[in-house]
Structure formats: C-alpha cells, structure tokens
Structure 1
Amino acid sequence: MTEPTPQDELLRLDKVKKYFALGTAPWQRSQSVKAVDGVDLVVRRGETVGLVGESGSGKSTLARLSTRLLDPTAGRVSVAGQDVTRLRGRRLRPVRRKIQMVFQDPQASLNPRQSVGTILTTPFKAQGIRPTRAQLVELLSQVGLSEEHLERYPHEFSGGQRQRIGIARALAVKPDLLICDEPVSALDVSVQAQVLNLLADLRDELGLSYVLVAHDLAVVRQVADRLAVMYLGTIVEEGPASEVYSSPAHPYTRALLSAVPVPDPGAVRDRIVLTGDVPTPIDPPSGCPFRTRCYKAEDVCATTRPVLQPVAGGDHRVACYFPEPPAPLELSNPPLSERTP
C-alpha cells in the first residue's frame, strides 16, 4: 500500500490490541476477551473506509479505540500525526475536535430528557464554547432539519430523524473525521439510502473523511473508497473497494460477498457456506484465526498467523497463505439509492 504522508493521515492504528479481562475465581486461570488483536489501519484525508465483518468481529471496539472512547491494551493510536494513545481528560479535547463518532442506535445515544437544542449545545460546552442559536440552526440545516426542531425531544422524531440529530451533534465541533458505527443498521431500506446520501453530501460539502462500520456489504459498497474486512479481531483483507468487491482474495471475504442478497428470485448464485462455529475470542485458534472454518486450510495455517501482503503488487492486501485467484465474483444487487422506491 502506498504510504500516505503525515499531512494526509487523519488516523493511524499501529498493532492496536484491546483485551477485556474476565472476572474469575482466585483458583482459576485469568482469561480475557481478545476483541481487537493487532490491527493496523490508516485513514487518509478525504477518503471513506468501510469496516465490515460478522457480528463479534471487533468492529465497534475498533471504532471506540479510534475515537479514544476506549484505552488500547497495546499498540498506538495517532490522530493527524499526533500520538494520542495515552492522552486523557482535558488533553483529549483537541483530539475531539478532529474526530467524532456517530453511534449505531440513535435512540440510545440521545438523552431523552434533553431537547435537540440542548443536545447540540453539549459538544460546544465540552470545548468551552458558547454557541449561538444561528449556529445550532445551521447544524440542523446541514442534516435536513429546521429551526422548529430545536425545542423538540428525541421521542418526537422518527429513527431516521434521530440519526440526523446524532450526525448534527457529531458535526458541531467541525471534525475532519467521522467514525460511523453501523449508522443505518436500525433503519429501513428507504431511510438507509437517505442517510447514506446525506453522509455522501456532507463529505463533498465539508471535506469529511469517514470510517463506516457495517455488516451489510451492500451499504458499504455505495459509499466506501477502501474496504477493510475484519474477522475475530484482525483485518484479513484490505484494499480499494472496487477491487475487493470484484476480486476478493480471502476465502472469508468471498463467503461474505456470496451471501449478499440479490433482488432476483431466479438468480443462481455460487453460494459459499462456511462450516463450523465462529471461535471464541477468549481462546482464538493458533495461526490464522479463520483456519477452523476455511475450506483451503493446510498445516501451515495452524502454525503462524499470516500478515497482510499485497495482491499482484497493488494496494489490495490479504492475510492468507492461499489467496483466491483474481476471478471476479458477480454481484448484481444495485446500490441502495437505486433500490429506493
């Protein structure tokens, strides 16, 4: 992968790990959940990175590590070239101006006792700023809401409108990077398209960068420039979204893409069905974390964990000893915007 200059980097994760200790009896061996286990990731200025994988793969934990809502167990988190791994309290305030988060459930992330005006004022107060009403109205206008909504409460809005309020709150301090943790998973398809189109418009208008966490690959396909596929706390494939979608190299990525629904009842798909259960992150397999479910696994896969290596010398990288040949995998589902009634 071409190395970005420090001026181009908005976020860099170097060998980041996050282990959650489990409570055990004194006579038992201490255990921990290895939610994120040695992830390297770079987000450049002006790009949208899609972070995909099954539930429990560590996507949301990685998002919270990126925004420093969680402290990493090991590794380094850098924002705009500054190492912020050990910053806390007031020293994190400048970082919050550069990177903000949009949460998955807008109803849970908005205080039901506060009006929209109070919710939007909170980020300003955290930075020691007293906003004007005009600034709050401008924020609502950017996400397609109006001044009359300032006095209303979250329960008075639909799910899509609540997510727009969450986006407006994240935009309050004019960040360069938004981490969106499955921002449309709780919405129906037509509203998903509206919110995704809004994010795309804000990216063009404000020059934002995104990390878009999702388990729906059709959602990510609509907006992502680059794709990172996670499995059991590690990134197993990364590259330009067009290349990963058209020619997935990791067996896990091919299985995910083969499961994407096609809006044609008569279509014949080469479905790849994985066998076995997802291993527990408390005791992950040795070597390649995917080997227990992989149809191409051999003895070497059990000894040493593969690292991300370029595919055909490009920006497309895969962590696999036996990557798939570059044969395109057909996907006929259109982007969400084209499926909107």
Structure 2
Amino acid sequence: MTEELLRLDGVRKYFGLRGVPWQAAQAVRAVDGVSFVVRKGETVGLVGESGSGKSTLARVATRLLDPTAGRVEIGGKDVTRVRGRRLRPVRRRVQMVFQDPQASLNPRQSVGTILSTPFRAQGTRPTRTQLVELLHQVGLSEEHLERYPHEFSGGQRQRIGIARALAVSPDLLICDEPVSALDVSVQAQVLNLLADLRDELGLSYVVVAHDLAVVRQVAGRVAVMYLGTIVEEGPSDQVYNAPAHPYTKALLSAVPVPEPGAVRERIVLTGDVPTPIAPPSGCPFRTRCYRAEDVCATERPVLQPVAGQTEHLAACYFPEPPTSERT
C-alpha cells in the first residue's frame, strides 16, 4: 500500500450562530461527516458548487481550522487536537496555496521577506541561495526578491504563493481554487507548473475547484461534494465518463463541449440549494434530485461501490445505470 499522507475520518465542522431572545442558537454545518484519504504521489480533485464545503474541508485538513468532530491524521499521526508549537512538524508536511494570491501576500513585505517567513516559523534562517532557488522552481528570477506583491501580475503572485508553500519542502500541497482568479491563458501556465513540480519534487496535491475541466486535467482521482458531504468519489476517468450520482451527472452536463454541433443532455436542477443550518433529512440532495423516492428522505446514503467497481463510490440509493445500460 502507498503511504497515506492525509486521512480524514468522519470530520465535521460547524460554525455557531448567536441566538436571539426569540430564537435558539444555530450552527452552520459547513462540513458534515467527511472521510477522505490522500496517498503519496496522488493528485486528488475536490469539486462542487460554491458553498458545498470544499474550502472549509481544506482548512480543516491543514489544521488552519479545528474540526468540530472527527479525526485528522497527517503522515499516520493523529493531529486533530494538536495546537501551537506542536503544529510545526505538521506544517512541514502539509502546506496550502490560497485562492486569491493578492489577498494572501502581505503588501508591506518584499518577496524575500515573504519567502523567509516559513523558514523563520520553523526556527531557521534561510540563505539568499535558498530563496533564489525557490523562485527558480516557480519560474521567477533573483531580481524579484526585492520587489513587492503589487509589482507583479496575478499569475506571478500565485507563483510566489506556490514558492512560499514549497519553502519547508512539504509532501502534500492543498491548493484552494489555485487558478480561479487568473486569466485562462495564465491558468494553463500555473497548472503546467504544478504538474512539473509534482514530477520534479514528488509532491502530492489536493486541488479544490469548481471548474470541472481544470480538475480533469490535473487529478487522477475526484471527490464530489454537496452540502458538506462527499456524494461521489473515484478515478477521474470513471467519474467523468460514467457519473453514478445524479448531482455529478448534472454538474458534468453543464460543462461546455468544445465541439461545434455537439449535442448532449443538459440536466437543469430545480429548486435552491438547502441551507446548511437545517439540511434535509436523509439524502442532502433529495430536494433537487430527479431520481429521489421516499426512502431517500429516511436515512442518509453512504458511499458504496458502483456496479461492482471497488474504487468508484457513490452515496445514492438509485445511482445512474452503467454506461452500456444508459446507452
């Protein structure tokens, strides 16, 4: 078995809302019982609509947020309740690349100072040679060390964010929408950079995105989230070519096809996304599902193998039929 870098077991993250005199306090169930494994050498895509809990799950996995319940293991060690200085070894193994490079970089610090921060947090002082090497790894040069974030383009700022994440030589990078704030041409450059770094440094990735085309390009395995839960998971080819969960099929039907005259079935979901304060009973997707039946309202389905496949899982009582049957 390949080494496990990250394991989430029944992770929940609730955010409390203050009550008022006529109403009790409530909780937003951002992540509601997620189990997830990332192994060495893997690139895993985490997809879903806005508000599905992807970014919150990423922050819990990196221990930027404390889980409300569940277990977080990094490198086989339970770090669920680790805090303060004891988190330093954890930071060496898992780092995060944030969505907005402009907001994640301190505008008052030069690039050299920004790249030095991870070293200082680990109790060491980097040499200029180390900082220059980091810049070279992401396609920048030594002259950029003295510049400030506002002097760079969006793509260059994201490269700086990636270089900062690489400073402590992590095994796993969790990339939260790493290209969503960039132009399409720059997106391709950053994705190619991540692929080159994976091959060169032996990195593993968790790529959080709502752009299914981006995830298909970089990920070998995909997990689909809806309302704080994972509803489908499996190898990219199987999930994209034969989606088993109705929600996954609806998402894929909305992806534009770059072929003139191509005809495909478009699934339009009815209703609004339920509030995470009071999610539906049973299956969280049943209020918008075109295959829902009475049993879907009684008990939440769990991830189970699809059509005898051991790696392709779906949490659905009535999954989509295999491709041959569907045809």
**For this structure pair, what is the TM-score category when the shorter chain's length is used for normalisation?**
over 0.9
Per-residue deviation, 1:256: 0.4
Q: Which residue of 2 aligns with 1:22?
A: 17
Residues in 1 aligned to 2:173 and 2:131: alpha-carbon distance in whole angstroms: 19
Is residue 122 of structure 2 the alignment partner of residue 165 of structure 1? Answer: no
Q: Which residue of 2 aligns with 1:128?
A: 123
1:182 to 147, 163, 177: 177
1:81 to 65, 76, 98: 76
Q: Which residue of 1 aligns with 2:314?
A: 318
Q: Which residue of 2 aligns with 1:107?
A: 102
Q: TM-score, normalised by structure 2?
A: 0.98
Equivalent residue letter for 1:316: H
Per-residue deviation, 1:247: 0.6
Equivalent residue letter for 2:24: R
Residues in 2 aligned to 1:83 and 1:153: alpha-carbon distance in whole angstroms: 38
Q: Which residue of 2 aligns with 1:35?
A: 30
Residues in 2 aligned to 1:314 and 1:78: alpha-carbon distance in whole angstroms: 23
Q: In the TM superposition, what whole-angstrom CA distance separates every residue of 1:289-338 from its partner, at most 9, and x where no partner exists? A: 0000000000000000000001123200000000001218xxxxxxxxxx
Is residue 142 of structure 2 the alignment partner of residue 147 of structure 1? Answer: yes
Q: In the TM superposition, what whole-angstrom CA distance separates every residue of 1:213-269 from its partner, at most 9, and x where no partner exists? A: 000000000010100000000000000111101110000000000100122343222
Q: In the TM superposition, what whole-angstrom CA distance separates every residue of 1:264-292 from its partner, at most 9, and x where no partner exists? A: 34322210110100000000000000000
Q: Which residue of 1 aligns with 2:56?
A: 61
Which consecutive residues of structure 2, in runs of 5 or more, have no partner in the other structure? Answer: none
Equivalent residue letter for 1:24: G
Q: Which residue of 2 aligns with 1:257?
A: 252
Is residue 97 of structure 2 the alignment partner of residue 94 of structure 1? Answer: no
Equivalent residue letter for 2:314: V
Residues in 1 aligned to 2:21 and 2:272: alpha-carbon distance in whole angstroms: 30
Equivalent residue letter for 1:275: T
Per-residue deviation, 1:27: 4.0
Three-state SS of the structure 2 residue aligned to 1:204 is helix
Residues in 2 aligned to 1:245 and 1:313: alpha-carbon distance in whole angstroms: 15
Q: Which stretches of structure 1, 4 residues or longer, exceed 3 Å deviation after superposition? A: none
Give the fraction of aligned pairs with identical amino acids, expressed as a percent: 84
Which range moved further: 195-204 or 265-274?
265-274
Is residue 201 of structure 2 the alignment partner of residue 210 of structure 1? Answer: no
Q: In the TM superposition, what whole-angstrom CA distance separates every residue of 1:86-116 from its partner, at most 9, and x where no partner exists? A: 0000000000000000000000000000000
Which consecutive residues of structure 1, in runs of 5 or more, have no partner in the other structure? Answer: 329-341
Q: Which residue of 2 aligns with 1:282?
A: 277
RMSD after superposition: 1.3
Equivalent residue letter for 2:288: R
Q: Which residue of 1 aligns with 2:39?
A: 44
Three-state SS of the structure 2 residue aligned to 1:187 is coil
Three-state SS of the structure 2 residue aligned to 1:286 is coil
Is residue 283 of structure 2 the alignment partner of residue 293 of structure 1? Answer: no
